[in-house]
Structure 1
Amino acid sequence: MALVPVEEALTRILKGAKPLPAETIKLQDGLGRILAADIVARRDQPPFYASAMDGYAVRHEDLNQVPVTLKLIGASGAGHGFTGMLKQGQAVRILTGAPMPKGADTIVIQEVTRIVKGGVEVLDAPAPGRNIRVRGLDFKKAEVLVPAGTKLTARDLGLAAAGNAAMIRVRKKPRVAILTTGDELAAIGTAPRWDQITSSNNQALSALVTAMGAEAIDFGVVRDDLKATTAAVKKAFNADILVTTGGASVGDHDFVQEALKRAGVKIDFWKIALRPGKPFMFGTKGKLRVLGMPGNPVSAIMCSLVFLKPLLHVMDGLPPDTGFGTARLAIDLPANDHRQDYMRARISNADDGTLLVTPATKQDSSMQRVMREADCMVVRPPHAPALEAGALVPILRFPAGI
């Protein structure tokens, strides 16, 4: 069976994938969610002409000759606006953010005034209209504050709140079921047998899915048994995506592919021209998409970044961003073989600010410490020629939280 190229594999995975439906949630629950509809301002901000400084609201025509003493007739504070009308020769004490009194057109800052008998003396005249925030200075009613497709941040939520958007429309979170297989795996916190290792894939992938804004459903570890694996696969049919790790090859204890077929999953392809991650598998059952990851921890994470991340983006109504960038090699690299290679690497900066990348000397797909210490992966296309230090190469950065 010929190995499927990485680009073709991704195209086949994304084919037919659609954004999930939208739902309405409270604004305070929106952090990290993907906006499905524009957030529109429900009022002007500020909703009135307001003072930008502490001082006195006056009529500029009363300042033709300074110093001048004006009669104080009241005060305007934030949330406690002055309701009267300012007339000739009068002033109103005003604080930052407070509404401008009717009849006033200028703010005199308090530093150029002094309280005297009968009112306030203005020692210096500002320009007309000075120190006033006009109505709608920040935004006006019906303006788009945050566009659809935005992954909501704290700043987005603050702006939306200022526009009085209590409820918002967001994409439903993709539900990702995670099924880990292997008799060699022991649950964390237990005492593994001498011939076992501690299961880590389900922990890492659950965190990765959560960091990408989806809902992770961890099915735990399933033993190497065809009946048990088939039953676990069927339990995942309510999810949008099923991710399996391990058991995807053709060894005596690899049952995932057969279990998927027995559960009615149509296998689209198996084995891709990728390192690490050659045994990767993809299948579908109705709207469910199944990504069969290798059991090696590095392979599972890397395949998730290359294939799961773009799929989640499409389900969120976003472009399938792959996150590629470029950097210059800090060391020489030999020629590559027929598989696209993803090499764990560290990023640094040269004295001139050039972005440099240094692949790790050991690239075994079981080495999680190397993966954790890496900043990115250097991507080497199939049959790439040998490269010398200084050559420009594509890199895949790890997203925040991954």
Structure 2
Amino acid sequence: MISVEEAIDIVMSQTIEAGTEKVPLQKATGRVLQENILADRDFPSFNRVMMDGIAVNSKAWQEGRREFYVEGMQTAGAPQQALSQEQNCIEVMTGAMLPQNTDVVIRYEDVKIEDKVARVSIDEVKPLQNVHLKGTDRKLDDVLIHKNQKLSPAEIAILATVGKHTVEVVRHLKVAIVSTGDELVDVNEMPHPYQIRRSNTYALQSALQAEGHEAQAFHINDEKDALETKLREIVGEYDVVILSGGVSKGKKDYVPEILEKLNVKKLFHGVKQRPGKPFWFGVREEGSSPTAIFALPGNPVSTFMCFYAYTLPWLRKCYGLNTQILEANLAEEFDFQPPLTYFLQVKLTMDQGQLLAVPVTGKGSGDLANLLEADAFLQLPSDRSAFKAGESFPVIQYRQIF
């Protein structure tokens, strides 16, 4: 077996070049941008009215005028008008172009209009009041969004503003999720007492969907020939294969043997960690591009932890995203005896600006329900058995609380 640190280094050294593709703007949320987005004009592109009211020339105000004849109305989306007489005004709407020969907007709340005469009730007016000047947000050709950013609704709004109806993004790797085991039945079936419903594939699909990523799910029973036939097909078609189960020492744990027959190069099998000790990882180099194989232990907490600790950071690195891990302070003393890295389930809280991790130990790697009580795994090192309250350790969140 190898250490967690060695396993992470090996996994992260095997990233795949995903390439790029163009997608419609409506499909770009959650994708990773692969082009710099420039302003196609000044932001705003004209002197913009910021309040409903009247537009006047500040010179007339400074000369003592407080009543202004209303020449007309400038609405949003209409061509720019011009004030013909300095002592007059034009009614204006929010978002409209500021009329020529005006430089102040006085809001309706400070004006009373009767018989087309606007009487101002405030004592102070400043030039450019309630005016959003052209180009004060961004200039033509400024970089608005840098490449390698994950696109959120904020970036989508900017892309729409500059007319990017298609966007160049990192191509999504083609991911297959494969569960194995005779004891597993589908979610819509009633299991016998000796069976359980498949949960790992749904959990992994959900975790990927939360990243904006789709994956195809498969199930194969523990029959060697069928497993080999189906895995050969899947490994040849997908960029990433995430297996759940069949990697331990059981008589029907055929996955490592079959992957070897399929010319998948084993990079490690077994990590000094709890949960997830039987974790297997390898790469198949045949074909036009490599296929990464994550064979995760079948116990649900093991599958869950290994995905978040290894597979998800690897996938994010393939897409050029940040893989930095946060740290949290242990909220209370904790002891763990075996010389293994322990991924302790914890509940996260915030106290005076510090992220705290409260242990929620559960009943082992089969205790799926305990995941409901926790938010993350706290990575405790293998070289010690006693951990003090207040000590800081890496934390791997599966529920984004903070």
Same fold (TM over 0.5): yes
| In 2, Cα distance between equivalents of 1:348 and 1:127 | 48
Where do 1:270-349 residues align within 5 Å?
A: 270-286=269-285, 287-321=290-324, 323-330=325-332, 332-349=333-350
Q: How much has 1:27 moved relative to structure 2? A: 1.6
The answer to whether structure 1 residue 377 and structure 2 residue 380 are counterparts is no
Aligned to 1:96: 94
For residues 159-217 of structure 1, give each alpha carbon's deviation from its aligned partner in whole angstroms, at most 9, with x where no partner exists. 32223332221111122111111111112211223322212111111111222232211
Q: Which residues of 2 match residues 104-115 of structure 1 at below 5 A?
A: 104-115=102-113
Question: What amino acid is the match of 1:365?
Answer: S
Compute the displacement of 1:282 (Å).
0.9
Equivalent positions of 1:210-225 (< 5 A) are: 210-219=209-218, 221-225=219-223
Q: 1:213 to 1:7 in 2, by over 3 A?
A: farther
The answer as to whether partners of 1:179 and 1:232 remain within 8 angstroms in 2 is no
Distance 1:73 1:360, change over 3 A: closer
SS in 1 for 2:70: strand
Q: Which of 46, 49, 54 is matched with 2:47 structurally? A: 49
For residues 119 and 198 of structure 2, the distance between their equivalents in structure 1, rounded to whole angstroms, comes to: 77
CA contact (8 A) 2:300 2:366 kept: yes
CA distance in 2, matches of 1:254, 1:293: 12
Secondary structure, in 3 states, of the residue corresponding to 1:295?
coil
Aligned pairs for 1:86-165 within 5 A: 86-117=84-115, 119-122=117-120, 124=123, 126-165=125-164
Deviations 1:360-379 (A, max 9, x none): 24341000111222112121
Structure 1's 127 and 389: CA in aligned 2 closer, same or farther, altered over 3 A? closer
Partner SS, residue 396 of structure 1: strand
> Following TM superposition, by how much is the alpha carbon of 1:328 offset from its aligned partner in structure 2, in angstroms?
2.7
Equivalent position amino acid for 1:166 in 2 = H
Between Structure 1 and Structure 2, how many residues are aligned?
Answer: 395
Distance 1:121 1:348 in 2: 56
User: How far apart, CA to CA, are the structure 2 residues paired with 1:384 and 1:130?
Assistant: 65
Counterpart residue type for residue 133 of structure 1: H
* Displacement of 1:325: 1.2
Q: Match for residue 250 of structure 1?
A: 249
Identify unmatched segments of 5+ residues in structure 1: none
Moved more, 65-74 or 256-265: 65-74
Residue 100 of structure 2 aligns to a residue whose secondary structure is coil
Displacement after TM superposition at 1:49 (Å): 0.5
Task: Judge conservation of contact 1:70–1:121 (CA < 8 Å) in 2.
Answer: yes
Match of 2:31 in 1: 33
Percentage of pairs with the same residue: 28
Deviations 1:308-353 (A, max 9, x none): 01111122122433x33121332x3224422111011222356x66
Q: What are the ranges of 5 or more consecutive residues in structure 2 without an aligned counterpart?
A: none
Q: For the Cα contact (< 8 Å) 1:73–1:92, is it kept in 2?
A: yes
**1:306 CA drift (Å):** 1.0
Partners of 1:241 and 1:266 lie apart in 2 by 14
CA contact (8 A) 1:24 1:167 kept: yes
Distance 1:283-1:354 versus aligned 2 partners, 3 A rule = closer
- Classify 1:40/1:299 alpha carbon distance in 2 versus 1 (closer, same or farther; 3 Å): same
CA 1:363–1:396 in 2, change beyond 3 Å: closer, same or farther?
farther
User: What is the rounded CA distance, in whole Å, between the counterparts of 2:228 and 2:357 in structure 1?
Assistant: 43
Return the alpha-carbon distance in structure 2 between the equivalents of residues 85 and 65 of structure 1: 17
* Cα distance in 2, alignment partners of residues 68 and 336 from structure 1: 83
Whether the 8 Å CA contact 1:33–1:213 is kept in 2: the answer is yes
**Residue-by-residue CA offset, 1:100-158 (whole Å, 9 max, x unaligned):** 11222222333343335564344545112222110123322222222222221112212
Q: Deviations over 1:246-278 (max 9, x none)?
A: 111232111111111222212121111111111
- Within 1, Cα distance between the matches of 2:116 and 2:304? 76
Deviates more, 1:41-50 or 1:102-111: 102-111
Indicate if the aligned counterparts of 1:60 and 1:106 stay in contact, CA closer than 8 A.
yes
Q: Give the aligned CA root-mean-square deviation in angstroms.
A: 2.2
Answer whether contact 2:330 2:388 (CA < 8 A) is retained. Answer: no
- Cα pair distance change 1:210/1:117, threshold 3 Å: closer
2:375, 2:400 within 8 Å by CA — same for their partners in 1? no
- Equivalent residue runs for 1:51-66 within 5 Å: 51-66=49-64
CA contact (8 A) 1:173 1:213 kept: no
| Alignment partner, residue 360 of structure 1 | 360
